[in-house]
Amino acid sequence: MPQPRVYETEAVVIRKMNLGEADRLLTLYTSSLGKLRAVAKGVRRPRSKLGGNVELLTCSRLMLARGRNLDIITQSQSIDSFMAIKTDLQRTSWGLYVAELVDRFTPERQASRALFELLLKTLNRLAGDGAGETALRYFEIHLLELAGYRPQLSRCPGCNRELPLSCRLSFSPVAGGLLCMKCRAGEPEVISLSADAIRMLGRLQDSDGEDVLKTGLSQALNAEIGGVLQEYISYILEGRVRSAAWLRQLRNGV
Amino acid sequence: MKSGFSSDGSPVSRLVEAFHKLPGIGPKVAQRLTYHLLRAPVEEARALAEAILDVKEKIRLCSRCFNITDVDPCTFCEDEGRDRTIVCVVEKPLDLLAIERVGKYKGLYHVLHGALAPNEGVGPEGLKVRELLVRLQGSPVREVILATNTSLEGETTAMYLQRVLSPLGIRVTRLARGLPFGADLEYADDLTLSTAIEGRQPV
Ligand SMILES: [Zn+2]
Ligand SMILES: [Zn+2]
């Protein structure tokens, strides 16, 4: 059976690029097809019917027509435009960081309902009054897991021995987890983590994050966990996350 | 590439390739332009080549407002008739021209040459932001109009500029956002509609 020419999906716009005079090439993360790139025609004109529904960090129901190379967005209906994110510099910056990570961790056209839901959940948390930085840590940990890079926290990835509880250990981005004292000796690139940070990483990893988010992580803990996750992410992506540099700049008060 | 011509290094294919590199020009149009020039009188070709070189050699950025110009400072900055207490910040030179076309604004400009796009690696240091701050220090400017696009990047840039300008004690305004003329309410997105409701005016 031939594929239908037109299809409908929910999508969050995670990246955009201007194309020609008035078009845009959008990278979407969709509920049914995963990441895909599509063209929004005429969208830079003020009277475009797609307009703000296909702006970055917007969730819309889209109608797409299969094209020869790229699919074309023909209709849009807004589901959530995350206004609370877009009217705040800090929240917008967090949201762009989330969008960049989803883009860089996912191959095209490989559906993951779980990742789509993680993306929406994170954007909703960033739009709410809760702890934004903590919501990012939750997102990072679960994105890593869904992408097949779950940080190993209970068993040493070097020797598979169970790790001691409540003591300072070293995280190895190369090994993808915490190393025991013995395995750590041969590893030059490790990051030391406090027992508190390790416990909190575990709690975020094995829960829906609601209880942690209610109180939010302390600034010190957030910096410690954020730092190690950022190293791990950069190692996997073989490069820095562009918007992470901007988040650092904002933290230091631009 | 699937461009329909082979690159053999001949003058014809070099020109086709050069056109093809320009934005919005596909292989077909590149070929058409090349064949047009092949048949055109030599004066036309020379005029085009000279105009291209002139743009590269004579046009630069104004050292005050960073608009493109062939004289420095540019004619806007030099114009004594313009209000020197107000500066309109735009993303690109074409936006400046759009505002000029309306003829309603008589102040000065500042061209950022882009908008913040942290996820694309464009931070404030990639824009003419520091230059704006330096320019405003000790100047008679009393108002800065943020006329960046209403895209997410334009809004982000405006929020950022508002943050760095507020310590200077200058009035910062943003172009009104709302429904475009000729628009159908039904097609307006949430953000446009909500700013339009907030910014409603008595009639
Ligand atoms: Zn071990
Ligand atoms: Zn000038």
Which residues in chain B are closer than 8 Å to A84, comparing Cβ atoms? none
Q: pLDDT band for position A36 (50/70/90)?
A: very high
Q: Are B189 and A81 in contact (CB under 8 A)?
A: yes
- CA B113/CA B98 separation, integer angstroms: 15
Long-range contacts of A150-156 (CB under 8 A, 24+ apart): A150/A176, A150/A205, A151/A176, A151/A177, A151/A178, A151/A201, A151/A205, A151/A229, A151/A232, A152/A176, A152/A177, A152/A178, A153/A177, A153/A178, A153/A198, A153/A201, A153/A202, A153/A205, A154/A202, A156/A180, A156/A183
Q: For residue A2, what are its two tokens?
A: 């031939």
- Classify burial at B42, counting beta carbons within 10 Å of its beta carbon; exposed 0-12, middle 13-18, buried 19 or more: exposed
Q: pLDDT band for position B4 (50/70/90)?
A: very low
The pTM for the full model equals: 0.88
Is the predicted pLDDT of residue A13 greater than 60, yes or no?
Answer: yes
Contact between A88 and B159 using a beta-carbon 8 Å cutoff: yes
Contact between B123 and A249 using a beta-carbon 8 Å cutoff: yes
Cα B46 to chain centroid distance, Å, stands at 29
Q: Is A71 helix (H, G, I), strand (E, B) or coil?
A: strand
The minimum CA-CA distance between B84 and chain A, rounded to whole Å, is 27
Residue position matching structure tokens 């010190």: A220
Q: pLDDT band for position A60 (50/70/90)?
A: very high
Q: Which domains does chain A have, with CATH numbers?
A: 6-83 (2.40.50.140), 130-251 (1.20.1440.120)
Mean pLDDT, residues B6-13 taken together = 79
- pLDDT for A1: 57
**What phi-psi label fits residue A176: left (phi over 0), alpha (psi between -120 and 50 degrees) or beta?**
left
B54 CA distance to ligand 2 centroid (A)?
19
The minimum CA-CA distance between B131 and chain A, rounded to whole Å, is 15
Q: What is the mean pLDDT of chain A?
A: 93
Nearest-CB residue to A96 (from B118, B159, B183): B118
- pLDDT for A169: 94
With the C-alpha atoms ordered B130, B68, B27, A51, is the resulting torsion angle positive or negative?
Answer: positive
Nearest-CB residue to A246 (from B118, B153, B192): B118
Mean pLDDT, residues B7-28 taken together = 88
Q: What is the mean pLDDT of chain B?
A: 91
- Residue A168: CB atoms within 10 Å: 12
- pLDDT for B1: 42
Is the predicted pLDDT of residue B7 greater than 70, yes or no?
Answer: no
- pLDDT for A134: 95
- CA A222/CA B148 separation, integer angstroms: 34
Q: List phi, psi (to 5°) of B185.
A: -50, -40
- pLDDT for A2: 66
Of B186 and A24, which is predicted with more confidence? A24
Q: Are A142 and A118 in contact (CB under 8 A)?
A: yes
- pLDDT for A21: 82
- Classify burial at A214, counting beta carbons within 10 Å of its beta carbon; exposed 0-12, middle 13-18, buried 19 or more: exposed
Is the predicted pLDDT of residue A11 greater than 50, yes or no?
Answer: yes
Question: CB neighbours of B50 closer than 8 A, spacing ≥ 6?
Answer: none
Strand partners, A178: A171
- pLDDT for A106: 97
Nearest-CB residue to A81 (from B155, B180, B190): B190
ipTM of the complex: 0.92
Answer whether A246 touches B (CB < 8 Å): yes
- CA B136/CA B144 separation, integer angstroms: 9
Is the predicted pLDDT of residue B6 greater than 80, yes or no?
Answer: no
Ligand nearest to the Cα of A186, by number: 1
The minimum CA-CA distance between B196 and chain A, rounded to whole Å, is 13
**Percent with pLDDT over 70 in chain A:** 99
Is the predicted pLDDT of residue A170 greater than 90, yes or no?
Answer: yes
- CA A117/CA A31 separation, integer angstroms: 8
B59 CA distance to ligand 2 centroid (A)?
13
Encode pLDDT of A206-217 as tens digits.
988 888 888 889
DSSP-assigned letter for residue A47: T
Mean pLDDT, residues B143-160 taken together = 96
Nearest residue in B to A75, CA atom: B187
**Percent with pLDDT over 90 in chain A:** 79
B76 CA distance to ligand 2 centroid (A)?
6
* Best mutation target, B129, B189, B193, B195, to test chain A (most A CBs within 10 A): B189
- Point out the least confidently predicted range of A72-86, A131-145, A194-208, B186-200: B186-200
Of residues A58, A60, A249, A234, the one with CA closest to residue A140: A234
Q: Which domains does chain B have, with CATH numbers?
A: 11-58 (1.10.8.420), 76-174 (3.40.1360.10)
Encode pLDDT of B34-70 as tens digits.
999 999 999 999 999 999 998 888 889 999 999 999 9
